[in-house]
C-alpha cells in the first residue's frame, strides 16, 4: 500500500470520525440523531455516554461534491448539546493510525478466508 497521506486516508480511511460525549441516558437518541444526519454511518465504539462513529465513508474519486453539508450538521449537533445533553463532540478526518488499523484489519480478514 503506497501513496501520500491524503491518498491513503481517501482510499483506506473510511471517511470521517465523529466522537461524542454525553449522558448514558440519551446515548440511544444521540445515535439516532447521528444516523439521521449521516445515513449509512457505522458506530465504532460505545462506552457509557462516549460514542464514536465512522461517517461519510468513501465517496467516488471522481465526485467533487461534498459528502455532507457542514453547516446543518454543526447546527444540529449544537442543538443536541442542549436537548440531549451532549457535552462535547468532534468531527475529524481519519488519522494515519486509523488508516493503518483499517488496512491491517482487512488483511487479517483476507488471510482468514
Residue-wise pLDDT for 87-96, tens only, equals 999 998 888 8
Residue-wise pLDDT for 15-35, tens only, equals 889 999 999 999 999 999 999
| Strand positions, DSSP E, 1-113 | 16-21, 42-47, 50-55, 88-93
| % of the chain at pLDDT higher than 70 | 88
Q: How far apart are CA 67 and CA 54, in angstroms?
A: 13
Is residue 41 within 8 A of residue 19, CB to CB? The reply is no
Whether residue 60 is predicted with pLDDT greater than 50 in this model: the reply is no
pTM: 0.75
φ/ψ of residue 68, rounded to 5: -160, 155
Cell 491524503 locates to 6
For 96, the grid coordinates are 494515519
Residue-wise pLDDT for 72-91, tens only, equals 999 999 999 999 999 999 99
Amino acid at each position: 500500500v503506497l501513496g501520500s497521506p491524503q491518498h491513503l486516508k481517501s482510499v483506506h480511511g473510511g471517511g470521517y470520525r465523529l466522537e461524542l460525549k454525553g449522558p448514558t441516558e440519551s446515548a440511544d437518541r444521540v445515535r439516532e440523531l447521528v444516523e439521521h444526519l449521516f445515513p449509512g454511518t457505522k458506530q465504532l465504539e460505545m462506552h457509557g455516554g462516549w460514542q464514536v462513529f465512522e461517517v461519510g465513508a468513501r465517496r467516488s474519486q471522481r465526485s467533487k461534491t461534498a459528502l455532507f453539508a457542514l453547516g446543518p450538521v454543526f447546527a444540529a449537533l449544537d442543538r443536541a448539546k442542549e436537548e440531549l445533553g451532549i457535552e462535547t463532540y468532534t468531527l475529524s478526518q481519519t488519522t494515519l493510525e486509523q488508516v493503518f488499523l483499517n488496512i491491517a484489519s482487512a488483511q487479517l480478514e483476507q488471510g482468514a478466508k
